[in-house]
Structure 1
Amino acid sequence: MEFKDIATVSGKPGLYKVLKPSRSGVILESLDEKKGKLVVGAAQRVSLLSEISIYTLTEEGASPLQDIMIKIEKEFKGDTGLEGADKEEYQAFMKHILPEFDEDRVYASDVKKLINWYHIVRSECPEVLEEPEATEESESKEEKE
């Protein structure tokens, strides 16, 4: 599975695997133990995780969610220690992971959602948290030989 195959549905908790488009929308499968299927129509907002970014104070203005999740995986290996954390702890965690994040536009609830999504992705499809540069480098080396 790739990062572009994982979606979130506005108003629904959790993450979903994109299965295929249908006439009225898209068919999704929940990334939890139940693996329930869901048909989402045009009235509901579906966002692919590959299209989500977090606001930063850099020139680009945002950092892709996948890059942030890879940083979290690299540093914490699944143990963020934020169960039952308060607003200040979430903000401090975000400052540690992404020092240039925009504190005025990224709320503690956003960071909490990021952590929840990270745990879901890590348990259901950990391969998307591997750094893409490593595979690209090995492919280019093979092409040269």
Structure 2
Amino acid sequence: MTFTKIITISGKPGLFEILSQTKNSVIVKSLIEGKRFPITATHNVSLLENIAIYTYDEEIPLATIFKNIADKEQGKKAISHKESNKNVTNYFLEVLPNYDQERVYPSNIKKIIQWYNILVNADFDFSTLTLEVSTEEEE
């Protein structure tokens, strides 16, 4: 499983891995349930690698944030996304100290933590994020 093939689908909970592509659809697998199903062009899809978080200086890619959380938690699960807004914002300050607190809402942080924990449960190898992030910067 590579980070470049992980997506989120609007209206569907969790994360999905792109498995293959057909003429009219893309076959994905839920990282929570393991079920496979097709999605079509009518679905609103976002690649996790295209998502970034605002800081006061720049936008930080989600892969970098996941790597920071994995380093902090030593590859284990983070706090629950159901914690209070105060707890998740304090936790996120430890992971990304200069995030823009006016443009990044607690609901965004909870979604990031939820996604991270889904990836941990799916046995995602966060050490691969270092390689992918560094090769993108070199190009």
TM-score band w.r.t. shorter chain: 0.7 to 0.9
Q: Which runs of 5+ in 1 are unaligned?
A: 136-145
Q: Aligned pairs, how many?
A: 132
Q: 1:84-104: CA deviations, max 9, x gaps?
A: 411111111111111111111
Percent identity between the aligned chains?
A: 31
Q: Which runs of 5+ in 2 are unaligned?
A: 133-139
Which of residues 98, 101, 118 in structure 2 aligns to 1:100?
98
SS in 2 for 1:103: coil
Cα distance, 1:6–1:132 mapped onto 2, change above 3 Å:
closer
State the superposition RMSD in angstroms: 2.1
Alpha-carbon offset, residue 25 of structure 1 = 2.6
**What does residue range 1-145 of structure 1 map to in structure 2 within 5 Å?**
1-32=1-32, 34-58=33-57, 61-77=58-74, 78-82=76-80, 84-127=82-125, 129-130=126-127, 132-133=129-130
Q: 1:94-140: CA deviations, max 9, x gaps?
A: 1111111111111111111111111111121321x1155579xxxxx
Residue 142 of structure 1 corresponds to: none
Cα distance, 1:75–1:131 mapped onto 2, change above 3 Å:
farther
The structure that has the greater radius of gyration is 1
**In 2, Cα distance between the equivalents of 1:119 and 1:132?**
16
Alpha carbons 1:70, 1:131 under 8 Å: kept: no
If the length of structure 2 is used for normalisation, what is the TM-score? 0.85
Alpha carbons 1:19, 1:27 under 8 Å: kept: yes
Q: 1:8-45: CA deviations, max 9, x gaps?
A: 1011100101011222231111012x311121111111
**In 2, Cα distance between the equivalents of 1:93 and 1:117?**
15
**In 1, Cα distance between the equivalents of 2:67 and 2:86?**
23
